[in-house]
A and B are shown apart, each in its own frame.
Chain A
Amino acid sequence: MTHATHTKPSRRGEGFATLLMVAPATALFAVMLVVPVGLAVYLSLTDWDGYSARPHVVGMANYAHLFGDPVMRHAATVTLLAAIVGTAGMNLLGLGFAVLVNGSSRANRFLRVVLFYPHVLSALVVGFLWSAILGTTGAVNSLVTAHGGSVLPFLSDPTWAVVTMIAVLVWAGFGVNVVLYLAGLQAVPASLVEAARIDGASRWQVFRHVTLPALGPVVTVNVVLSLVTLLKTYDLVVSLTAGGPAGQTQTLAYLILWNSFHDNRLGFGSAQSVVLMVVTAALALIVTRLRRRGEMAVYS
């Protein structure tokens, strides 16, 4: 049979080859991500404490509890605030600086590296670093108090601490947006821009009516990427504020791991995880729809 179809490989053989190409990735994905999501949903319906051998099914009790929990509500607010303000910040700065450092001059190349390098550091390191700079005994406050000023409560005042956290998130992350927007700018046809310039459009008009529309899909990708990343903010909280002061900078991911392990409420923590997953997917989908690019696969 194989012989007869020498120039066209056999169907069965090809079917097997296709299986060989699809199955491993699909199996790994299923075992490591799909099954755990299912397990999370199951655990969220139980009161498992991590110690007892067998979790008891408690139905929707965790979910009912979750929406009335003030700590959870606060963490949800902080997380959403960080995600929305952070996304706005990262994208405005990302696009702005992409425009400013576009071009191949030495200075621009240097600036791209400078804007991007925080991404090379882990969020954990970034948090420790900024807490050593902005903490009550940190670099900035040492300087301020040495000159007779009073301590600036970057991390000790509840409002400041949230603002500081978001600012550090943006500082550490917007370099990626710069790079992605730069890539987008490269793809804007030069002829289009030139044509508009010849027609007498100002720089701003060209940017607003030519460049920006052409960047459409890149904007979507950037916004979704920032949003998804910020919604799971955890490492930075651990090292920058440890959730303090008075629990004011706890994000959802921080609270989930805290509840699960520190308070031995893995069932409740799982319910929170499920909610976070649903919210993340919903927000990402809404953004994609809003951008009126019906297809999720903006690249294809």
Chain B
Amino acid sequence: MRPRHLSRAAVGALLSLALAACGGGGGFSGGNTSGGGDKGTVRMLVNITPNLTQSYWTELVKPFERAHPGVHVKIEAPTGKSVADTLPQQLAAGNAPDVVEQLTADRTRASQMLDLTDQPWVKGTPLAQQAAVGGRIYTVGVGEQAQSLIFYNKAAFAKAGIQQPPKTLDELTQDMGRLKAAGYLPLQTAGDFVTGLQLLQLADPSLAQSHPQWYQDVKAGRLKVGESLLPHLRLYKSWIAQGYVDKNAMGLKYPDSQTRFFAGKAAMYIMGSWFTAAEATAKKDFEVGVFPAPVQTGQRSPGPQGATMAAPYMILKSAEHRALALKLVQWLVTDKSAVTSQLQQDGNFRPGFDRRFTPLERQVQQILDAAPATVPQGEGYGDDTLPNGFNDAWNTQVQGLYVGRSPEKVAAAVDQWVASRS
């Protein structure tokens, strides 16, 4: 055979192969297309973290699938950076999932979500009313995450001679000085999303007291976000200047910061209650304690605790199997074993659901119980929301403190960001 013919034949074969393959695969929605059938595939977009792996999610929904023969729950991991970027991509593409985990409804998202207000089982779920938008419930969750917690190395505190955890931010700063003198890095932080998150978590109890109507005031234009957080930004800048946080921390990722804290080099770590799940399995040679984020001098201590819904679920209006999606979400947020498993896996809390607690988790529970109130944080949820993307914009600006920007400049940039989106 002459080579020319050979290559022509090869091209022809490949082409038919390619076309056949194109014809074969491709669709993205499985199952039948009848609107409310009780068989089919429910697609659920979930958040993937070191605690919540893809295999965890797949295992979680297995009992539900067993109880509903013919039903398949398809766990979908975000292809974008997060659920928050992936959902809009899918909506734009017209292939949104049926259920989405991790996001809470705001005015923009609510338009796409199923109104759950009239579902009887919704009433008992945590924070459902607080997360309502315009009085309607779109988001239901499994539990509560406490946000404003400072975990600390008990050995480090003992070595620095600190008897009582600090109650005010001034005390906190003084203790940082002692910890540094004792040879510790006072506060562990990281780049990623950690920098901005920690400062929000730290600010919740004091901000909620100095500006009890913060979200409403911001929305009405009576208050500027950056301005109201300027004291915290200044405080943070002073910590950078005094070496209370590592000036190279921006090169660290979120898991790095945990690893370093457990390695015993750093004395404190600001993080939400889910950190207890990591603590439960981490190797370390010291005991970890926890205290609520301090308040400003003269404020009531402990202050309100920043709290967010753990594992929030929403159902999309466009859901192919609406009835099935409803059943699934109901099961996820009310079934005892499903709820307990999720609480356990990500270190979250819910009254009435007893589970194995580590000593540290008991302390977090006590902090939650002792808090006079719970408050939303950052972007917030329900009616109290800042524009989409606030948390990341805030994070980027707070990191600016590390690269030489002044607190005033950072505050102004945050305010400009909010103004440009309102």
Q: Which residues of A contact B (CB under 8 A)?
A: 49-52, 65, 69-71, 135-137, 151, 153-158, 238, 242-248, 258, 260-264, 266
The minimal Cβ–Cβ distance linking B82 to chain A, given in whole angstroms, is 8
CA distance A51 to B105 in the complex (A): 12
> Given A50-B88, A136-B251, A262-B84, does the pair A246, B111 have CB atoms closer than 8 Å?
no
CA distance A245 to B403 in the complex (A): 8
Contact, CB under 8 Å: B416 / A70: yes
Bound: A129/B397 CA distance, A: 27
Distance between Cα atoms of A155 and B112 in the complex (Å): 39
- Please indicate which of the listed interface residues A51, A70, A155 has the most CB atoms of chain B within 10 Å of its own CB: A51
In the complex, A158→B401 CA distance in Å?
11
User: Would you call A261 and B402 a contact (CB within 8 A)?
Assistant: no
Given A50-B91, A137-B252, A246-B400, CB of A262 within 8 Å of CB of B85: yes
B80–A263 touching, CB < 8 Å: no
Once the chains bind, are A136 and B252 in contact (CB under 8 Å)?
A: yes
* A231 to B419 Cα, complex, angstroms: 29
**In the assembled complex, which residues on chain B have CB atoms less than 8 Å from the CB atom of A49?**
108
Q: Which residues of chain B come closer than 8 Å to A246, judged between CB atoms?
A: 250, 396-397, 399-400, 402-403, 405
Is the Cβ of A244 less than 8 Å from the Cβ of B250? yes
- The answer on a CB contact under 8 Å between B84 and A51 is no
Asked if B389 is at the interface of the complex by the 8 Å CB criterion, the answer is yes
CA–CA, A182 and B352, complex, Å: 73
Is the beta-carbon distance between A247 and B399 smaller than 8 angstroms?
yes
Nearest-Cβ distance from residue A71 to partner chain B, whole angstroms: 8
Chain A positions within 8 Å of B417 at CB level: 71
B60 interface residue (CB < 8 Å to A): no
Closest to B259 in A: A137
Flag if A51 contacts B80 (CB, 8 Å).
no
Size category of the B interface is 35 or more
Dominant secondary structure of chain B at its interface with chain A: helix
26 pairs across A/B with beta carbons < 8 Å? Answer: A50-B91, A51-B108, A52-B111, A65-B420, A70-B413, A71-B417, A136-B252, A137-B251, A137-B252, A153-B250, A156-B191, A156-B250, A157-B403, A242-B81, A245-B191, A245-B251, A245-B402, A246-B250, A246-B399, A247-B400, A261-B80, A261-B86, A262-B82, A264-B108, A264-B389, A266-B92
A171 to B416, CA, bound (A): 38
Query: Which B residues, 178 to 214, have Cβ-Cβ distances below 8 Å to chain A?
Result: 191-192
Is B154 part of the contact surface with A, judged by Cβ < 8 Å? no
- Residue B251 contacts which of A51, A135, A243, A263 (CB distance < 8 angstroms)? A135
In the complex, are the beta carbons of B403 and A158 less than 8 A apart?
yes
User: Which chain B residue shows the least CB distance to A246?
Assistant: B399
Q: Report the Cα distance A260→B80, complex, angstroms.
A: 12
Inter-chain contacts of A244 with B (CB < 8 A):
191-192, 250, 396, 399
CB neighbours (8 Å) of B252 from chain A are 136-137, 156
Cβ contacts under 8 Å, A51 to chain B? 88, 91, 108-109, 111-112
Which residues of the other chain, B, contact A248 by a CB distance below 8 angstroms? 403
A136-B403 CB under 8 A given contacts A50-B91, A246-B396, A261-B85? no
Complex: A155 Cα to B253 Cα, angstroms: 11
Report the nearest B residue to A244, measured CB to CB: B191
Chain B contacts for A137, CB-based, 8 A: 251-252, 256
A260 CA to B92 CA in the complex, in Å? Answer: 10
Contact among B191, B388, B416 for A263, CB-based, below 8 A: B388
Q: A70 vs B417: C-alpha distance in the bound complex, in angstroms? A: 10
Is B95 close to A, CB under 8 A? no
B89 at the interface (CB under 8 A from A): yes
Chain A residues near B404 (CB, 8 Å)? 158
Whole-angstrom distance between the Cβ of A44 and the nearest chain B Cβ = 15
- Asked whether B392 is an interface residue with its Cβ less than 8 Å from the other chain, the reply is yes
Closest 7 CB pairs of A and B: A136-B251, A156-B251, A246-B399, A245-B250, A263-B389, A247-B396, A156-B250
